[in-house]
């Protein structure tokens, strides 16, 4: 649960947004081809998860999907 709370907090969200942007840039500008497109798509998912304050792996860990709910519990 501590991981979900960290990821829902401002630092965790910022890290996800920054990592998402980096993955998109590396995928489109550095890797190229199909691998680059896949990497960029993963980056977009990570970026949106941070921007929308959701954590995709939290339900696997038994925490809420929503970052707001994770901070409340």
Q: Tokens standing for 1?
A: 């649960």
Confidence of residue 47 (pLDDT cuts 50, 70, 90): very high
Confidence of residue 7 (pLDDT cuts 50, 70, 90): confident
- Bigger pLDDT: 19 or 54? 19
Instruction: Return the domain boundaries, the chain.
Output: 2-72
In the prediction, which pLDDT does 42 show? 95
Average pLDDT over residues 64-71: 73
- Bigger pLDDT: 62 or 35? 35
Model pTM greater than 0.75? yes
Distances (CA, A) of 37 to 33, 43, 45, 50, 56: 7, 10, 12, 20, 20
In the prediction, which pLDDT does 3 show? 76
């Amino acid at each position: 649960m501590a991981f979900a709370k960290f990821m829902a907090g401002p630092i965790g969200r910022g890290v996800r947004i920054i990592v998402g942007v980096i993955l998109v840039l590396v995928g489109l500008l550095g890797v190229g081809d199909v691998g680059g497109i896949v990497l960029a798509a993963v980056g977009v998912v990570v970026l949106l998860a941070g921007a929308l304050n959701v954590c995709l792996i939290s339900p696997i860990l038994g925490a809420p999907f929503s970052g707001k709910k994770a901070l409340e519990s």
